[in-house]
Amino acid sequence: MNRGRFITLEGSEGAGKSTNMDYIQQSLQARGVDIVMTREPGGTSIGEDIRELLLGHKHTGMSDDTELLLMFAARAEHIHKVIEPALQRGQWVLCDRFTDATYAYQGGGRGIAAERIAILENWTQGLLRPDLTIYLDVPVETGRQRAGDRSDPDRFEKEQNDFFNKVRQTYLHRGEQEPDRFRLVDASMALEQVQARLDEIVLELLD
Ligand code: T5A
């Protein structure tokens, strides 16, 4: 049995990840790929509880290190219970955010050194890295307008544009550092154009 492929989808707020997760799934399934959809933080029972801690407002003033460690705690459970078993069964895994988000939000946004994140990445993931990462890139203002004035913004959505600009710059930098793995999609285009580009990436994946 061939090992499955591990695809991650990234983007800053309102870039269109949720909208396009379904599109990519349908596109791959239509071509006969057996695919598991999941998300971070979350994807397991423990991970979804950790997500509530991270995104909710129950605990104010969470320290940056606590936030980082909770992201990796959720990720450890996710890898053990969902991602690795699926890949070993030969299924593909499409994950809404993964460790690039940690580099972008906890690294770029919060200012935690990439070297410290890399220690946790190596410890938690071993050799596991995404085979391909699709990054939906949109200017911060556009993404935030699209996400709209949510009646109950989560702990990250309450951050200011300066935070999200650093998040975006970190994603773009990582894309430049790893051009073989990253596929940058200009998500400021109309949805049909974004999805036409996603079709090209799906075809490339199946090649
Ligand atoms: N996080 C996560 C970390 O800090 N570190 C980590 O390690 C990880 C894993 C998770 C939060 O956790 C943080 C990052 C996040 O803040 P999330 O569930 O990923 O949150 O949710 P968000 O990023 O907040 O996702 P959003 O729901 O805000 O944005 P999406 O999913 O990118 O956007 P979507 O698809 O809901 O689209 C927004 C609106 O835009 C429209 C859609 O119809 C929708 O109305 N739209 C378009 N409109 C015009 N043109 C297009 N091309 C459009 N594409 C979508």
Residue in 8, 12, 17, 159 to alter for ligand 1 test, most ligand atoms within 8 A of Cβ: 17
Residues of the chain with pLDDT under 50: none
- Tell me the average pLDDT of the chain: 96
pLDDT, tens only, 25-46 = 999 999 999 999 999 999 999 9
Lookup: tokens for 17: 């990840």
Please report the atom of ligand 1 found closest to the CA of residue 150: 28
Contact by Cβ (8 Å): 130, 38: no
Ligand 1 center from residue 10 Cα (angstroms) = 9
State the number of CA atoms in the 13 A half-sphere of 65 facing the CB. 1
pLDDT at 23: 97
CATH fold, domain 6-206, is: Rossmann fold (3.40.50)
Amino acid letter at 79? I
Element (H, E) at 83: none
pLDDT at 198: 97
Which three-class secondary structure state does DSSP give residue 94?
A: strand
pLDDT at 149: 62
Query: Which residue's alpha carbon is at the smallest distance from atom 24 of ligand 1?
Result: 13
